[in-house]
Amino acid sequence: MRNILLVIFFGLFSCILSAQVNFRANLSKSSLGINERVRVDFIIDKDGDNFTPPEFENFRIVAGPSQSIKNSWINGKRSYSKTYTYFLSPIKKGNFKIGQASVEVDGETYKTMTLNVVVTTAVDKPVNPNDPSYVADKNIHLVAEVSKTNPYLNEPVSIVYKLYVSQDTGVNNWRELDAPRYADFWSKNINIKNLTVENGTYKGEPYRYVILRKTVLYPQKIGELSIEPLVLDITVQTPSNRRDFFGQILNNTVNKTVSAGKLKINVKPLPDIGRPNNFSGAVGKFDLLVTTSKKELLLSEAFQLNLEIKGNGNFNLFSFPSINLPQSLEVYEPERLEKLVTNFKGIRGSIKDQYTIVPSSPGKYSIPKISFNYFDPKDSKYKTQTSVLNYINVKGAIINNVRKENNIDNRNSNKLGLVEYGNLSFKKKTKFQKINQEIFFSSSLFWIILLTPFAILIVVLLIKIFLNKNKNDKNWIRANNAKKLGKKYLLDAKKNIENKNKFYEALDKALMNYLKSILLFDNSQYNAKKIRESLLKKSVSLKTIDLLDDIFNNCQMARYTPFDYVDMDKDYKRALELISLIDNEIQ
């Protein structure tokens, strides 16, 4: 009886064990060098779903996942297993863990045990000429070619990353694992439109190569600087000793991780001997050009002064020289114009500052010489570029007497143009009355109240369409900006009505920008003769134009002569009246 019970017990126990799911993880090796790879297999003896691998921290996945299924019947007994396989490459040395993988079987989740891996320093691999990994190591090379390893501070350094492949080896594709980092450099990548395979040599042997990346660097610190390597994972096809049915050689496919290696660049400081006091940090080869758009002009005409630096060097990393001009020349903020391209030798092109200048009194003005210093790394010395002396001859005369005040018809003095900008206000009292509800509906007031929102909406839409249409109209934008400036300077004039110089300077700018908004001229066309002709063409009366001349003359005499007998309040009102007259007369 006891033997029968034991047989039954062991039978039941074996059935229970056979019903259990076995899910385990195996390593091909538990200790490896940093230059080796390890294979990880996750094996389950039941068909499951939703397999989730662990986070392979401190490892790169160089191949996988791949699946294989083994299903067999031996003596009427079924044997089944599914395997998920990964090939890993360590990132650094140390003791690491490979976490748990999970899978679902019949609604339940099963997990593997964690695995311990020890990564040591690189080991010498046994040489096997038929090993695909060994063949790939011998026939694939990623190289970073540096134009200069001992540059000066801010001297350009070029790096070209080339992938060399032997003649009998193929590359299917690659992906970037790590990109170079240029922490202490100003960097610019040069766009490579098409990858072209070229023939060359590597260590004296014939190879094919392709240029993957070009970068130009400008070191911003002195001393030894490091550049992290470019690391690629490449799928390589290597020949084997096997042949197919037709006698052609079969290829082995293997994944290989290649690195260009960390680069070291030793940056030299710029020498102290011969360094100019006003040196601004320019390094390269440059030329300085200073030109003017006109040599002779009439009083109150404008001209352009162009300060241009061109050549090859660290553009945008140094300061432009400044200009010092006589106070009688009114200088506006310069416009910066850049024409730069980056090539293998660095940044090449030109940067120009274009100044608009308006003389306020006649005479012969000299544009002083401008000096620009730079360091030439090729000759290892500082050099100076100096412009030639330029002269500007301004013709005309300042009127020293005040014109008699014109008697101007004040019939328009109460129109909108005479209202001081920024001080326009309305006040209106609203009277409320009771509405007779019996007659309100369908009355005129009812329909007005009902339709007014729709009318307002239509007006807003029309205004929006008009503004959107004019957003792309350069003349409209220009006129609108000039009108805003005119209003701003008119307000500035009123605020400084007790300061003669500031008042007349603001009043002159207000009138100039107002005329810009209606005549659309730029500073180079700003002279009294052309403005007078333009106003006459737009049907502005001679009396109004004479008033404009009179106000401009007062501005000139008050700003640039010892003339003290002024009535600023009267001139301000006359300027408002002038704007109103022009608004009403212009066509």
CB 160 within 8 A of CB 278: no
Two tokens, residue 529: 């003769």
pLDDT digits (tens, 9 = 90+) for 34-54: 878 888 998 888 887 788 899
Nearest to residue 102, comparing CAs of 94, 87, 89, 113?
113
- Find how far residue 393's CA is from the centre of its chain: 43
Low-confidence ranges of the chain (pLDDT < 70): 1-19, 73-76, 78, 124-134, 239-251, 398-442, 466-489, 520-527, 557-566, 587
pLDDT digits (tens, 9 = 90+) for 57-81: 888 887 778 887 877 766 667 677 8
Q: What is the 3-state secondary structure (H, E, C) of 404-467?
A: CCCCCCCCCCCCHHHCCCCCCCCCCCCCCCCCCHHHHCCCHHHHHHHHHHHHHHHHHHHHHHHH
Dist. CA 96–CA 27, nearest whole Å: 13
Dist. CA 305–CA 335, nearest whole Å: 11
Q: What is the 3-state secondary structure (H, E, C) of 205-261?
A: EEEEEEEEEEEEEEECCCEEEEECCCEEEEEEEEEEEEECCCCCEEEEEEEEEEECC
Within 13 Å and on the Cβ side, how many CA atoms surround 122? 3
Q: In DSSP terms, which residues pair with 23 in a beta bridge?
A: 44
Nearest to residue 159, comparing CAs of 71, 265, 248, 86?
265
Q: How many Cβ atoms from other residues are within 10 Å of residue 196's Cβ?
A: 9
Q: What is the pLDDT, as a whole number, of residue 409?
A: 42
pLDDT digits (tens, 9 = 90+) for 146-193: 999 999 999 999 999 999 998 778 787 788 878 888 888 999 888 888
Q: What is the pLDDT, as a whole number, of residue 405?
A: 39
Two tokens, residue 382: 């500082």
Q: Is 2.60.40.2550 the CATH classification of the domain at 21-120?
A: no
Peptide bond into 65 cis (omega under 30): yes
Nearest to residue 402, comparing CAs of 561, 528, 535, 518?
561
CATH number given to 284-395: 2.60.40.740
Q: In DSSP terms, which residues pair with 252 in a beta bridge?
A: 238
Dist. CA 587–CA 573, nearest whole Å: 24
Q: What is the pLDDT, as a whole number, of residue 488?
A: 67
